[in-house]
Chain A
Amino acid sequence: MTANTYQLTAKEKRFIGWHFIFAIAALSIGSLFGPFQAMEHAGWNFYDKFLNPIFHSYYEGLTLHGVLNALIWTTFFITGFLTFTIIYGLKRPLRYPKLNALGFWMMVVGLLIAAVPILLNQASVLYTFYPPMKAHPAFYIGVTLVVVGSWIEGYGFYLTYYQWRKENPGVRTPLISFMSLITMVMWQVATLGAAAELLVDLIPWSLGLRAGLDPQLDRTYFWWTGHPLVYFWLLPAYMSWYAFLPRQAGGKLFSDSLARFSFWLFLLLSVPVGFHHQYVDPGVPEGWKMVHSLLTYSVFFPSMLTAFTVVASLENAGRNRGGKGLLGWITKLPWNDPSVLAQLLAGILFFFGGIGGLINASYNINLVVHNTAWVPGHFHLTVATGVTLTFMGILYWLVPYLTKKPLWCKKCAVIQVWLWFIGMTIFSNAMHVVGLLGAPRRTPLGAAPYIPEEWAGHLLRVGIGGFILLISVYLFVAVMIGSLVTKKKLSEEPEPPVAESLLDPQTTPRWLDRWVPWLVGVVILLVIAYGPQLVYQISTAQFTSPPITNIFGG
């Protein structure tokens, strides 16, 4: 394959850039509260003294933290990044740029609509918005618009791909575009659950058009979406590790076909596993929890494929750079490049997150950790580091590409990444430990009357880790703003670091580039894993829970 020569137009770059501006703005507000939560746990409460007139409670903050980080930062970053990987991979413009623009601005409008009730403390329901706790209807409507907007951007991708396919019969879909499409398809299957919950239940009920809901059924809808949501975050990070990082580190992708194969498996196995978030739910039978437990474990296999390919590609890079011996190649990797560093450190912490995930998924062992501080300890290694730190690393090369300006203060970026790694290691380890000792999550522990003495040292470490992360977040924001406003210009357009594969992708078997059989597989697995329980839970639903409000304080 020849080098990728397609250049994005200034307009395309600006469109992608807007996604990142909203994503970074969301992160800079959402991640303000993480450290405050952590410091609250350590006994340093800033809510009453500092935040109060503007932000009314711990839970208004926690809602902002969950929504802005986990839903907005991720979704805006991902749709922006996928727009890039679709265009650049297929080497053609979007088929209907206006359609994608419509989707994007719908997401923005949704965000603004949802933000108002949150900031008025009328939607302090956290990012899982479990009924029958009721938020202002604008919250549900805003969230729905964000999701639908992201779907529309996805339709724009599909139509672009369809056109490309017509123009390029027989050619293997370029890896980055292939992975982007799978990510988007997975997301659209996954969000059917939340769509049902929001459109059929929450919106009409919050508007007074329905008297009651069945909260158990809504939990099942929610977790249909809630688990694959994490794969929506993760797959773009994997794409970066597979298809960009090897090149950034100076090597090639080890195996194109296994990369594709693992993405198909992720598509198959992401959705039919939601009951593993409901192991302790009263309304889901034990047998079905066990089925989802085993399906969840199957994700171990494509995860191991990913680990092998990514590490083998990095080894290829390290040896190209003169690394010798069993482990000598590791030291030769470009650790001083903030983008590479961010992804390597993200991968290391993500590995530990994966081990924790095996524990969470272990059916009855989950009883020990469910709803304890262990769980946020776990997903700050995965989404808040494996994913978030990787996305930051991507922005460290992608923003200079989009603006044709150098990264402002590369040294600050390197320090930022190390601070994140150090802060998160301290924070997350302490959260895991105190969770094992029984500390609940979603709880301002400083106000809890049942805290034993032995938690104190760990809670202090939670606060220290959080404080280090506070510095890291705003150093990141500073580097981003600095890079945007700097007057310096790059003399030539930087080339996006898309890795070549060791073997020509055209030799990748054709069955790895066919959609229909895999999509049929997705439907079959869903029918098996969810069909009987959905039919049962819907047919026996009792809509007896009226909305509950006036419990947000403030």
Chain B
Amino acid sequence: MADIKGTQLIHEYLRHNKKFPHVFCSGCGHGIVLGSLIRSIHGLGLSKDDVCIVAGIGCSGRLAAYVDFNTVHTCHGRALTFATGIKMAKPGMHVIVVMGDGDSMAIGGNHLIHAARRNIGVTALILNNNIYGMTGGQCSPTTPAGANTQTTPMGQMEQSFDCVELCTAAGANFVARGSVFHVKRLDSMIMEGIKNPGFGVVEIMTPCFTQYGRKNGFKSPVEMFHALKKNVVKRERFDEIPEADRGEKVPSGIFVQKDTPGLEEKFYEMAARCQGGK
């Protein structure tokens, strides 16, 4: 980040022919993720032409339209399938997938675990606000037990997914969790994720005051940021907290970092052998 700083840097990457304002509510965390993503791409010195942002459907999916990369806004839950095609077709491309919690783990849950198992070389950012933001605040697979949502008016009764454990179990090469409060750490996690070969996931805890906070005891978006500050703790510290005292706390940091080559690398190696006369 040598010459240009802060907002100036962000403007370098925003599309000037895109009609603003953006769609996000004030207090939404999604824009912070976009800032972090831009700083990470800039920090890695990637050329805009070599970056492809593939987004799902949800408030989170709207990120793609604003930035001056190759951008594809796909169907609800299916972003990873499009990304798989792009990466297999253009293995040199840095393919970054932006999804919501419902997008990635409900309707797109099967694609998520298979992308992890297949180890396709794309980096998935999962913007987890524990709710379906775009459609008006229905329960998502990460809505905590007891929470009040439009479809759980008496409180959420199901178990929720732990994104990190899910992706780890499915075999992802890189698994991390950060938050939009801890931005510096988030920047470095996203950078690590993009650099790592194979399938990477960064789960990003982010507040949705409009559809979640208001109905679950938060007085303002700021309070939700305070909660993130308190509850998203480094995994080393988390491990030290006695289980009974953990409450709403979740561990953050990098949980998995393997260097297994991505599917696309393995495929083209195999193809080169086939074409070299077996």
Are A and B associated in one complex?
no
